[in-house]
Amino acid sequence: MNINELLEKIQEIVPLNNAFEDDNVGLIIGSGDEEVKNIIVAHDLTLELLEHCNKNEINCVIVYHPPIHSPLDFIRFDNPYTEVVSKFIFSNISVISLHTALDVSEGGNADVLSEMFKLDRVEKFAFTNDEYAAGRMGEIKEIQPKEFLSNIESILNTKVLRTNKYFNELNKICRIALLPGSGTSFINEVIGRVDVFITGDISHHHFLLADISKIGLIQISHISSEIPGIDKFSSELAELIKINLSYHKPIFYG
């Protein structure tokens, strides 16, 4: 199987053209004609991952976050960021990125989170096109705020990093919104529609906006919201192909 054939299998699970328009998904490093020996699924390109690939004869990485997400002005070997990219190139390791295509796909990151939180009457938001969206909102069994925070820690195997002031004024939670990764750019789509919005990488200004708008805001670890969906994707792809595939689950804090 070569890279192009692998991409066809990936698209059966994650149609790449459903990603956000400005996202960088698909083959990022390598050639479509390159034969695939072994595959690893990971969240990011790192030097630790590179060492693992070289030791285990892995020549294809399916990475969640694109290693190149804006035009590069240079590729310098003394720059920490471009050094990593250059070393994967020199090691002849192909790199495929999924990112928001996996978030919005059927059974992808957003759907997995929705199932884990047992949402009812699910609605989508943060659309990439007429059908696919990165966010999910819906009803949950009525719960008290403190108990809900504890549930999140258990469901995602993480620690809740931060809540806004208004969250502590809530008496109960019945409707929530979820968006894997960093989702505060879509906060206006859920204000007035849910009690609580859960996502990662929340800025100070978005916490203030949530207080003013009377919506609870919960910041979780960015990666913890992505691990369940990527784990599921890895298992599904492994069933489709006859090539050794492993998932390099990250160690994260928070």
Please name which of 183, 226, 219, 198 lies closest in space to residue 63, comparing C-alpha atoms: 226
pLDDT for res 252:
55
pLDDT one digit per residue (tens) for the chain, 254 residues:
999 999 999 999 999 999 999 999 999 999 999 999 999 999 999 999 999 999 999 999 999 999 998 777 888 888 888 899 999 999 999 999 999 999 999 999 999 999 999 999 999 999 999 999 999 999 999 999 999 999 999 999 988 779 999 999 999 999 999 999 999 999 999 999 999 999 999 999 999 999 999 999 999 988 999 999 999 999 999 999 988 999 998 765 44
Beta strands in 116-215 (DSSP E): 120-127, 133-143, 162-163, 173-182, 196-200
Report the DSSP beta bridge partners of residue 245: 39
The architecture (CATH level 2) of 106-222 comes to 3-Layer(aba) Sandwich (3.40)
pTM attached to this predicted model:
0.94
The architecture (CATH level 2) of 3-101 comes to 3-Layer(aba) Sandwich (3.40)
pLDDT for res 21:
94
Per residue in 99-120, is it b (16+ CB within 10 Å) or e — as a string? bbbbbbbeebbbbbbbeebebe
* φ/ψ (deg, to 5) at 246: -130, 160
Task: Write out the two tokens for 88.
Answer: 């994967």
Residue limits of CATH 3.40.1390.30 in the chain: 3-101, 106-222
The single-letter code of the amino acid at 26 is: G
